[in-house]
Amino acid sequence: VVHLITGGAGFIASHLVSALLLRGHDVVVFDNLALGNLQHLDAALASGHCTFMQIDCANLAEFRAAVGTSLDGRRGFAIWHLAANSDIPAGITDPHIDLRDTFLTTFNALLVMREFAIPEFHFASSSAVYGDFGDLEISEHAGPCQPISNYGAMKLASEGQICAALESRGRRASIFRFPNVVGTPATHGVILDFVNKLRVDKNRLPVLGDGTQQKAYLHVDDLIAAMLFIAEVGPAKINLYNIGPRDAGVTVRFIAECVREVVSPGAEIIYGRGNRGWVGDVPRFRYATDRLAKLGWEPSLSSEAAVRRAVRDVAASFLL
Amino acid sequence: VVHLITGGAGFIASHLVSALLLRGHDVVVFDNLALGNLQHLDAALASGHCTFMQIDCANLAEFRAAVGTSLDGRRGFAIWHLAANSDIPAGITDPHIDLRDTFLTTFNALLVMREFAIPEFHFASSSAVYGDFGDLEISEHAGPCQPISNYGAMKLASEGQICAALESRGRRASIFRFPNVVGTPATHGVILDFVNKLRVDKNRLPVLGDGTQQKAYLHVDDLIAAMLFIAEVGPAKINLYNIGPRDAGVTVRFIAECVREVVSPGAEIIYGRGNRGWVGDVPRFRYATDRLAKLGWEPSLSSEAAVRRAVRDVAASFLL
């Protein structure tokens, strides 16, 4: 069967492509390469079972034509929609970025699902849909969702549009509420940011905010395992799950110290003020993942272990 | 001070225009007159304190220019955003309708808020954001929202976008989760539908579904009172409230019998099958309104009383 993956040249999606190929599926990847990188797909493309189409999924005519061409009469089994603007601060400056790249891509992917009678739709949503719940542990049943970034708003919009579309078309959908995800090939995020800062000046690591922001981090390998698990065994028509580690996360301070230890042990970490790194950042964040645990899946790495492993891998990637 | 009202020529919004004028405010109304009707504003326009601009709020350039012209150097105090596609079945057939009329109008209204430094934003959201919670009473804290119509999806998207926008701009926002609203001038809805059917054939009243669908109904006068109350005393930056009667609602059967009694007592009511009238309809629906009651507001009419009064008024409007 054929799986279609939007944004497939991105950090997380390229791991998904590999995992689906390993399971013996054919894969078609759509990516505009604005944030993705074709190198992430080198091994996948060499397998002979992965087709790549450079298109913009926000352009419906282009998207539709590419799906028709790539399927070439075969039946698409699932769309994995991971295309989105992953640069949250950019989307806060200009709301049109998330409207187009985070929401309209979803809107179009659902029209494609309908047009090509593709039965399954799996969506990379985000903890950013919730907004700031303070110290409360956030379960899937928490409401109201009040996202504080346009990125989070357009992920929430996408969830709604998926639910509405599944009412009349499509057989099954997954909505994965992603946590912060770490691993390589890192394209953005706090670990890459810190590593890059120390590569510029090995003596100083300036940190936005006072370092007390605490978040849970999941390793990308665990995330992919969870997505495949939910897509396979999710019992509902729409399977909506928080995906994350079972712990309360680690602080920015912990991450800064990890990076320093690996990259430049003598550096001084210089903290800023306040517990928000930037507008749209949620200072503390606690995810309830009981629902997924009850379904039968738990991550293999804690936030601490995931960050430690990712720091080593990101740092090592610069030595290649 | 000047209040800007989008969709101001619609059923509910025209009542809001009158209420704001009564409080001594100046009002500017934007409406594309696709679903609204300028006659609804006859009295308002005669007051000399209401300006009307026929524009499409989904067109940002047009919207922005109209706001500049109508404010003419005055400071806008609040945007009341009520423009939306109110034809839910049409939006299910073509998702682009709700994308444009229900969501992009909100997206643009928030850009206008920012550009013209308007401090308050009040939004007509909907119970349709929740989706089907079965027999559970739905409070504002219920989640996840899984709307089953594109209309509900784009109202949810609008809520998210408002929350994100208020993070960096605007001083206060209200999100009113409307129930089903009845009253005159009726433009759509089950009461008008039934009255029209009996005007076509006074002997037969065909009903979609088996008549057991139960929903709460609020009279438009109560709704406007609640909106003004929340906008004035809501204590949070974003004040999100279910607005509805304190009861569990009435069935379609009750409404059909009310309409028959007033319009054509001898008619036969002919029920269909199933408890859903159309795709995107939620068969049962129970709203928790404790939050608003705790803030200090309760409706004056029950669902039953609101429906009885609206049936009389809608029927009477055809005799004029």
Global ipTM? 0.91
- Asked whether the beta carbons of residue A143 and residue B147 sit closer than 8 angstroms, the reply is no
Partners of A149 on chain B (C-beta within 8 Å) are: 164, 167
Reply yes or no on whether the pLDDT at A83 is more than 80.
yes
Residue ranges of chain B whose pLDDT lies below 50: none
CA distance B137 to B127: 12
Q: Which stretches of chain A sit within 8 Å of chain B by CB?
A: 92, 95, 99, 103, 107, 110-111, 129, 131, 140-150, 152-154, 156-157, 159-161, 163-165, 167-168, 175, 238, 240, 279-280
CA distance A138 to A51: 38
- Asked whether the beta carbons of residue B240 and residue A145 sit closer than 8 angstroms, the reply is no
* Residues β-bridged to residue A215: A250
Nearest to B164 among A140, A147, A161 (CB): A147
Query: Average pLDDT, stretch A190-206?
Result: 95
Window from A12-16, A82-86, A200-204, B90-94 with minimum mean pLDDT: B90-94
Both structure tokens of B240: 């999100």
- Asked whether the beta carbons of residue B163 and residue A153 sit closer than 8 angstroms, the reply is yes
- Asked whether the beta carbons of residue A160 and residue B165 sit closer than 8 angstroms, the reply is no
**Torsion-angle region of B183 (φ positive above 0: left; ψ -120 to 50: alpha; else: beta):** left
CA distance A27 to A12: 15
**CB-CB contact of A238 with A173 (8 Å):** yes
pLDDT (0 to 100) of residue B189: 87
CA distance B120 to B238: 10
Q: Which stretches of chain B sit within 8 Å of chain A by CB?
A: 92, 95, 99, 103, 107, 110-111, 129, 131, 140-150, 152-154, 156-157, 159-161, 163-165, 167-168, 175, 238, 240, 279-280
Helix H segments across chain B?
11-22, 42-46, 60-71, 88-93, 95-98, 105-115, 150-168, 190-200, 220-233, 252-263, 290-295, 303-317
- Asked whether the beta carbons of residue B144 and residue A149 sit closer than 8 angstroms, the reply is no
A27: nearest Cα among A46, A2, A62:
A2
Distance from CA of B99 to the nearest CA of A (A): 9
Partners of B148 on chain A (C-beta within 8 Å) are: 163-164, 167
To 5 degrees, how large is the angle CA B93–CA B97–CA B99?
115
Helix H segments across chain A?
11-22, 42-46, 60-71, 88-93, 95-98, 105-115, 150-168, 190-200, 220-233, 252-263, 290-295, 303-317
pLDDT (0 to 100) of residue A282: 65
pLDDT (0 to 100) of residue A284: 67
- Asked whether the beta carbons of residue A161 and residue B110 sit closer than 8 angstroms, the reply is no
Distance from CA of B135 to the nearest CA of A (A): 16
Question: In the predicted model, what is the mean pLDDT of chain A?
Answer: 94
What residues have CB less than 8 Å from A279, skipping those under 6 apart?
Answer: A89, A92, A148, B167, B168
| pLDDT class of A283 with cuts at 50, 70, 90 | low
Partners of B175 on chain A (C-beta within 8 Å) are: 144
Amino acid at the residue B29: V
Nearest to A152 among B95, B129, B164 (CB): B164
Q: Both ends of chain A: CA-CA distance in Å?
A: 36
| pLDDT class of A280 with cuts at 50, 70, 90 | low
- Asked whether the beta carbons of residue B160 and residue A156 sit closer than 8 angstroms, the reply is yes
CA distance B155 to B98: 9
Nearest to A107 among B95, B160, B163 (CB): B95
| pLDDT class of A215 with cuts at 50, 70, 90 | confident
- Asked whether the beta carbons of residue B143 and residue A148 sit closer than 8 angstroms, the reply is no
- Asked whether the beta carbons of residue A238 and residue B146 sit closer than 8 angstroms, the reply is yes
pLDDT tens, position by position, A285-305: 788 999 999 999 999 999 999
pLDDT (0 to 100) of residue B141: 96
B58: nearest Cα among B37, B76, B83:
B83
Query: DSSP 3-state assignment of B249?
Result: coil
Q: Could you count the other beta carbons within 10 Å of the beta carbon of residue A222?
A: 22
When computed from its CA atoms, the radius of gyration of chain B, rounded to whole angstroms, is 19
| Interface probe with A: pick from B150, B175, B238, most Cβ of A within 10 Å | B150
Q: Which residue has the higher pLDDT, A223 or A274?
A: A223
pLDDT (0 to 100) of residue B4: 98
Query: Which chain A residue shows the shortest CA-CA distance from B160?
Result: A153
Global pTM reads 0.93
CA distance A158 to A164: 10
Both structure tokens of B3: 């209040």
Residue that is written with structure tokens 């919670």 in the block: B133
Q: Could you count the other beta carbons within 10 Å of the beta carbon of residue B173?
A: 28
pLDDT (0 to 100) of residue B85: 95
When computed from its CA atoms, the radius of gyration of chain A, rounded to whole angstroms, is 19
Per-residue burial over A293-309, b = 16 or more CB atoms within 10 Å of its CB, e = otherwise: eebebebebbbbbbbbb
Reply yes or no on whether the pLDDT at A278 is more than 60.
no
Query: Which chain B residue shows the shortest CA-CA distance from A94?
Result: B111
CA distance A19 to A232: 13
B303: nearest Cα among B286, B279, B282:
B286
